[in-house]
């Protein structure tokens, strides 16, 4: 029975580790695979034309009065192209850092909970008892400890 519990904890810990590694590696790999296609699409003249039209519309709307003030984007290129070209490595490093640290910490917490002391149930043949029985035993042990302490101080 104890061996089975240890095996389940080991499998659960391995599963948590596998999920953490997958969350760490899969998104950057998928983004890397899609990056070339996205950049190719964004390098087409149609994409640049759409961006120029958008900037022109923003320029026209920026002087109007209304509940929302529009600002003209400063970049002459679409932001997705700039991000994929100039900031892609930074985004991957940030992903690895944050998911690595936060996910690793969470995985350690889960692994610690899984490897913690097993619960003792009242029907457990290994000596587990009810909460009141455990408290009574603990109180008895405390009394014995106080007696030993008193004897040692004299």
Q: What percentage of the chain exceeds 90 in pLDDT? A: 42
Q: Is the pLDDT of residue 24 over 90?
A: yes
Summarised one tens digit per residue, pLDDT across range 71-110 is: 888 889 999 999 999 999 999 999 999 999 998 898 888 8
Q: Is the pLDDT of residue 29 over 60?
A: yes
- What is the average pLDDT across 39-47? 93
Burial of 118 (0-12, 13-18, 19+ CB in 10 A): middle
Summarised one tens digit per residue, pLDDT across range 59-75 is: 888 776 766 777 888 88
Q: What is the pLDDT of residue 6?
A: 77
The residues spanned by each domain of the chain are 2-118, 122-154
Please state the pTM of the whole predicted model: 0.60
Q: Measure CA 2 to chain center.
A: 31
């Amino acid at each position: 029975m104890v061996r089975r519990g240890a095996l389940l904890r080991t499998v659960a810990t391995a599963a948590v580790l596998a999920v953490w590694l997958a969350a760490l590696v899969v998104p950057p790999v998928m983004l890397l695979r899609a990056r070339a296609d996205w950049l190719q699409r964004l390098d087409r003249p149609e994409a640049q034309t759409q961006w120029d039209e958008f900037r022109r519309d923003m320029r026209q709307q920026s002087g109007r009065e209304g509940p929302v003030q529009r600002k003209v984007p400063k970049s002459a290129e679409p932001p997705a192209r700039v991000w994929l070209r100039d900031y892609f490595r930074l985004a991957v490093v940030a992903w690895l850092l944050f998911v690595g640290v936060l996910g690793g910490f969470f995985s350690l917490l889960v692994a610690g909970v899984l490897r913690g002391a097993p619960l003792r149930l009242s029907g457990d043949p290994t000596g587990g008892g009810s909460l009141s029985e455990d408290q009574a035993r603990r109180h008895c042990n405390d009394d014995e400890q106080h007696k030993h302490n008193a004897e040692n101080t004299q």
